A and B are shown apart, each in its own frame.
Chain A
Amino acid sequence: MIDLSIFESVDWAAAVARLHPVVLHLPVGLLVALACVELWRLVRRRREPDGSRAVLVFLLAVTAPMAAVSGWLLHETESYGAGVEWHEYLGIALMVLCLGTGLAFWRGSRGYAWLLALSVGLLLPTAHLGGSLTHGDDFLTEPWTEALEGADADPQASGPLADSLATDCWIEVAPVSHDFDAVAPFFDSYCTRCHGERKQKGGLALHDMASLLAGGEDGPVVLAGDPAGSPLVRHLRLPLEDDDHMPPAEKAQPTAQEIEAVAAWIGTLGAPGAEAVVTGDADGRAAALAVPTAAPSIAEPQVAESTSAASTDEPATPSIEPNAIERSASIRNLRELLVHVEGLGRDSDDLAVDFTAATIEPGQIAELLDSIASSVVELNLSATPLAPADLEYLARIPRLERLDLRRSPDPSTDIGPLANCPALTLLNLSGTGLAPGAVDSVASIASLETAYLWGCGLDESELQRLAALRPAVRIVGSVDGPDAPREVEPDVVFVRADVAAEAPPAIASTTSLAPINDICPVSGTPVDPRFTIAHEGRVVGFCCSNCPKTFWDDPSRFEVLPAGN
């Protein structure tokens, strides 16, 4: 039997309320049909009785209250934003008019035609308000407005910017941004139709920062710095079939990446200075949402600045450092020349720059590196042609610690200018021919710890002189070959403890595998001493690695001829 208990537990008000979108179209259609019939009769001057009218009027009088009641219940059980009240009032008025129309028709009253006209007139604003609630008020006009706007502004139009984008990765081009603009497009696409300026389902609006932080009827939806704990993210991440999933299953869904992007954005709200957001200025664009940015020099002052800006209600500090833009442009430019630029850690501005793959002309270093030079800590210029001016420039890079000048194409590189390098700890000159005086130049780099000088044309005495000048510096002039062993085990003797008495003779292991034959038993060609096996107490040699396998398959097939036979 069917379990009837469900009928007791169901929320009837909500169940009926949810029928509103279905039911409301019945009186709308009937009203329009009735109006059409009347219009037709008017035009054709028909006066004879017409059964269809009675049916339409009767159905209209029945369905109009159904639509109104379900609509009223819907508003009672669920929250909608502004606009719903007017829709409700007009809807109720419309129901009254429809009932009046029915009554007038039944009584054959004159007022019938007027009431009908009034009903149709009222239908338009009521329906429009209702439609706007569900679909947004630009639902009908959007295709037109988009067509109009598309004509002038296409952000993807080709041009220098688009050019650079197409080949470049975004992340380096896109400047830092920490304000609501970053997530506004997401909310606009997926949320603001129901949670926006015009409609606030659940009392929630997401069209600006202030509303976002204000939350909805159930409290805040965003916990700064805690995406996982933020109801907004939780609802987004719920599986589609979950009742609490947002946006509702039938609406357009964001991708997982988009959701994670929003979560990440919420994560950044916890950063220093973010508290000020809550008391942000009127339009919700809190000035101090500025999380510490990638400062061009060193990052510390940034935090302090943005916090103080917030506390004194000064105008927003620009969230982008023009210098940062310049730097990303510069990095982009380097990458186009195949220069590798790598950050040395996520919390650091230090850069490693590697010219290995690049083809550049001598004298270009200064121009290429200038806007990022203050961050360059490691520089690889191996096999790169350099002009004297380049070396002078290198010496001025303030924090350069490791410099790689291996394999320079210039057979006589003058490293004199490097003597003034302020922070250099490692200098690699291996394989680079050096101009006279190199030893003194290397010796005068005060901060130096390691110098690779193999293959630079420096002889032993010069290296020793350098070692004497700078005893603390590790100088790698050449690397010795393998060391001789300190101790060698005596010949290997296998002894089985319980039969130690009859210990077998020692195996002179290095010679024990000399094969007894010099002709491979399988192929008949000369033996390669690397390929041997032990068979029946004899060492058998073969010509290649394949023959032993053949041999093992059936040793009796092959004859091993001792050498000399």
Chain B
Amino acid sequence: MTNDEHLDPIDERRRLLTRRRFFGLGAAGVGGLLGQAALGSLLTGGSASGSTAANSSGLAAGPHFRPKAKRVIYLHMEGGPSHLDLWDYKPGLRTRFDEDLPDSIRKGQRLTTMTSGQSRFPVAPSMFRFSRYPNEQDGAWVSEVMPHTGGMARELCIVRSMHTDAINHEPAITFFQTGSQQPGRPSFGSWMSYGLGSANENLPTFVVLITQGIGNMQALSERFWGSGFLDGRHQGCKIRSGNNPVLYLSDPDGVERDDRRRMLDAVAALNQQEAERTLDPEVSTRLAQYEMAYRMQMSVPELVDFSDEDPHTLEMYGPEVSKPGSFAANCLLARRLAERGVRFIQLYMRGWDAHGNLPSELRSQAGAVDQPQAALLRDLARRGLLEDTIVLWAGEFGRTVYSQGTLTQTNYGRDHHPRAFSLWLAGGGFQRGIVHGATDDYGYNIVRDPVSVHDLHATMLNQLGFDHERLTHRTLGRDYRLTDVAGRVVPELLA
């Protein structure tokens, strides 16, 4: 585009301020125009993302204050990994094998229909050996199935006092992703895209990578990474393993890249006319989206091609790294995406829903994620990316201390448990090497420093430069936020 230097700025301004153009901006747009806010607020993401963010919501894109973190890698462990067998060490339970769970602990809590019919609730201590790994405190006890991750405890901020509101997968995942148990709200990644725009216009702002699990799997709805009431452009883009990483991205057979270019130019010329006629920012958005898809035809193959990785790095991620779609391959891909400025990288590892056969399922599941996720932390750290990347490892809830089904010396299952569970964070200005919060001797109730899902969201948004109460979008007559009407930043988690 030409930038005619001879334009008189005053004149330019007059011409810009026609009524439609002016009000197309919405309230905060005016705030920006009026010079109330500083230069920072005049910058609204890229040409594609910022304008409409400002438009549809009154939100001028860009952080509220200087961010500590620029992106998120969210390792979502779908199904609800057992905190008791991974992160929350309860040696005292070893002497309570097969005892009934005291009522003073369960307090009549609601159960799922999968165990509500059980005649008794026998305590199932973890059959896994725990080890104490060095961190910034007096060490973190981690299960034997996570030796690599345990060995990175110096980087981890382990939260043992998480709690959520939902007891079943769909609402619980929806809650973790969107801050609401009911579908229809934007996913965290969409809020990020909406608030910050893209840092790399060659790639989507919010990328989703899925690994099929080994254990019992539950459905994974696409709406988990949907944009809800936000512009569809903020929704997660799933990158698949195989020849066609992004669906419908490659040119059909017989269409050359030059043909595509000419087609896009022709469409762009028409859209340009429409944009000039209506000045509807959606038209410009569409134009930008086509262009981005065109650029992604080049950037995505480069992204998923690991041939430029050195052998030591590949080795670090483990043998599965060469298998597309494996958790190892997706961790490496996540690092490559982070390196290229993608804001929100969401990995799903399916298969943690161990209602029965937990010992073998958990061992397999952990075996698939342990080395790759430790390698990811290490790889990010040495490249200086962990400094401004939040890595979150979390399931949607924990699992019960009592066994679902028959309890034997070598086998047990665990039901869903929302009242207390563990997750960890690393990087992005979170405290390194700490364990936060505690549960009772049964790992059933939180006894210290509870952290809700809203608190987690608020704290993460804080690191990303947002006041969670001010990152809003107006729809259906009111302002919505990721943290709904709750959430508090947890300063104890922050460096």
Whether chains A and B associate is yes
Quick one: which of B31-47 are within 8 Å of A by CB? 31-47
Segment of A34-42, A155-163, A434-442 in the binding face: A155-163
* Residue pair A487, B95 in contact (C-beta under 8 Å): no
Q: B132 to chain A: closest CB distance in Å? A: 4
* Residue pair B28, A264 in contact (C-beta under 8 Å): yes
Segment of B64-72, B230-238, B417-425, B446-454 in the binding face: B64-72
* Residue pair B132, A485 in contact (C-beta under 8 Å): yes
* Residue pair B383, A342 in contact (C-beta under 8 Å): no
Write out, one digit per residue, whether chain A residues 260-275 have a CB within 8 A of any chain B CB (1) or not (0): 1111110110010000
Quick one: which of B446-495 are within 8 Å of A by CB? 465
Residues of B within 8 A of A489 (CB): 91, 129-131
Residues of B within 8 A of A354 (CB): 199-200, 341
Tell me, yes or no, whether B409 is within 8 Å of chain A by CB. yes
Tell me, yes or no, whether A125 is within 8 Å of chain B by CB. no
Q: How far is the CA of A382 from the CA of B154 in the complex (A)?
A: 27
Residues of B within 8 A of A141 (CB): none
* Residue pair A509, B128 in contact (C-beta under 8 Å): yes
Q: B198 to chain A: closest CB distance in Å? A: 7
Q: How far is the CA of A552 from the CA of B411 in the complex (A)?
A: 14
Tell me which of B7, B37, B409 contacts A160 (CB under 8 A).
B7
Quick one: which of B373-403 are within 8 Å of A by CB? 374, 378, 381-384, 387
Tell me, yes or no, whether A557 is within 8 Å of chain B by CB. no
Tell me which of A263, A345, A500 contacts B64 (CB under 8 A).
A345
Taking residues whose C-beta sits less than 8 angstroms from the other chain, chain B's interface range is: 35 or more
Tell me, yes or no, whether A309 is within 8 Å of chain B by CB. no
Tell me which of B17, B28, B148 contacts A177 (CB under 8 A).
B17
Quick one: which of B256-308 are within 8 Å of A by CB? 272, 275-277, 279, 281, 283-284, 287-288
Residues of A within 8 A of B429 (CB): none
Q: How far is the CA of A292 from the CA of B38 in the complex (A)?
A: 9
Segment of B18-26, B173-181, B183-191 in the binding face: B18-26
* Residue pair A485, B39 in contact (C-beta under 8 Å): no
* Residue pair B41, A333 in contact (C-beta under 8 Å): no
* Residue pair B36, A479 in contact (C-beta under 8 Å): no
Tell me, yes or no, whether B114 is within 8 Å of chain A by CB. no
Known: A357-B201, A539-B410. A171 touches B151 (CB 8 A): no
| Residue with the highest number of chain A CB atoms closer than 10 Å, among B4, B25, B340, B410 | B410
The total number of A-B Cβ pairs within 8 Å is 408
* Residue pair B95, A345 in contact (C-beta under 8 Å): no
* Residue pair A545, B279 in contact (C-beta under 8 Å): no
Task: Closest A residue to B29 by CB, please name it.
Answer: A171
Tell me, yes or no, whether A51 is within 8 Å of chain B by CB. no
* Residue pair B1, A167 in contact (C-beta under 8 Å): yes
Known: A174-B33, A294-B42. A548 touches B9 (CB 8 A): no
Write out, one digit per residue, whether chain A residues 329-357 have a CB within 8 A of any chain B CB (1) or not (0): 10111011010111111111111001011
Tell me, yes or no, whether B94 is within 8 Å of chain A by CB. yes
Q: How far is the CA of A407 from the CA of B134 in the complex (A)?
A: 32
Tell me, yes or no, whether A484 is within 8 Å of chain B by CB. yes
Quick one: which of A156-183 are within 8 Å of B by CB? 156, 158-178, 181-182
Write out, one digit per residue, whether chain A residues 11-23 have a CB within 8 A of any chain B CB (1) or not (0): 0000000000000
Residues of A within 8 A of B201 (CB): 338, 340, 357
Write out, one digit per residue, whether chain B residues 134-153 have a CB within 8 A of any chain A CB (1) or not (0): 10000100001001111111
Known: A357-B200, A481-B151. A504 touches B131 (CB 8 A): no
Segment of B96-104, B157-165, B239-247 in the binding face: B96-104
Tell me which of B127, B340, B351 contacts A509 (CB under 8 A).
B127
Task: Closest B residue to A289 by CB, please name it.
Answer: B34
* Residue pair B3, A160 in contact (C-beta under 8 Å): yes
Q: B46 to chain A: closest CB distance in Å? A: 6
Tell me which of B12, B54, B287, B381 contacts A175 (CB under 8 A).
B12
* Residue pair A495, B95 in contact (C-beta under 8 Å): yes
Tell me, yes or no, whether A77 is within 8 Å of chain B by CB. no
Tell me which of B67, B339, B381 contacts A476 (CB under 8 A).
B381
Known: A481-B151, A482-B374. A531 touches B364 (CB 8 A): yes
* Residue pair A479, B276 in contact (C-beta under 8 Å): no
Q: How far is the CA of A506 from the CA of B139 in the complex (A)?
A: 26
Q: How far is the CA of A257 from the CA of B384 in the complex (A)?
A: 43
Q: B335 to chain A: closest CB distance in Å? A: 12
* Residue pair A176, B33 in contact (C-beta under 8 Å): yes
Residues of A within 8 A of B12 (CB): 161, 175, 325
Quick one: which of A131-175 are within 8 Å of B by CB? 155-156, 158-175
* Residue pair A513, B129 in contact (C-beta under 8 Å): no
Segment of B55-63, B218-226, B322-330 in the binding face: B55-63
* Residue pair A495, B97 in contact (C-beta under 8 Å): yes
Q: B41 to chain A: closest CB distance in Å? A: 5
Residues of A within 8 A of B63 (CB): 342-346
* Residue pair B360, A170 in contact (C-beta under 8 Å): no
Task: Closest A residue to B46 by CB, please name it.
Answer: A335
Tell me, yes or no, whether A428 is within 8 Å of chain B by CB. yes
* Residue pair B382, A478 in contact (C-beta under 8 Å): yes
Tell me, yes or no, whether B359 is within 8 Å of chain A by CB. yes
Q: How far is the CA of A122 from the CA of B201 in the complex (A)?
A: 69
Tell me which of B40, B47, B131 contacts A485 (CB under 8 A).
B131
Tell me which of A175, A482, A507, A531 contacts B214 (CB under 8 A).
A531
Tell me, yes or no, whether A112 is within 8 Å of chain B by CB. no
* Residue pair A483, B60 in contact (C-beta under 8 Å): no
Q: How far is the CA of A165 from the CA of B21 in the complex (A)?
A: 10
Q: How far is the CA of A345 from the CA of B41 in the complex (A)?
A: 8
Residues of B within 8 A of A80 (CB): none
* Residue pair A261, B1 in contact (C-beta under 8 Å): no
Quick one: which of A212-266 are within 8 Å of B by CB? 255, 257-258, 260-265
User: Which A-B residue pairs are the 5 nearest by beta carbons?
Assistant: A482-B151, A343-B40, A169-B51, A176-B35, A185-B19
8 cross-chain CB contacts under 8 A: A175-B33, A261-B22, A328-B42, A340-B199, A342-B62, A343-B63, A476-B384, A496-B98
Q: Which residues of A contact B (CB under 8 A)?
A: 155-156, 158-178, 181-182, 185-186, 188-189, 255, 257-258, 260-265, 267-268, 271, 290-294, 296, 299, 318-320, 322, 324-325, 327-329, 331-333, 335-336, 338, 340-351, 354, 356-357, 375, 380, 382, 404, 406-407, 426, 428, 430-431, 450, 452, 454-455, 476, 478-498, 500, 504, 507, 509-510, 512-513, 530-534, 537, 539, 545, 548, 552
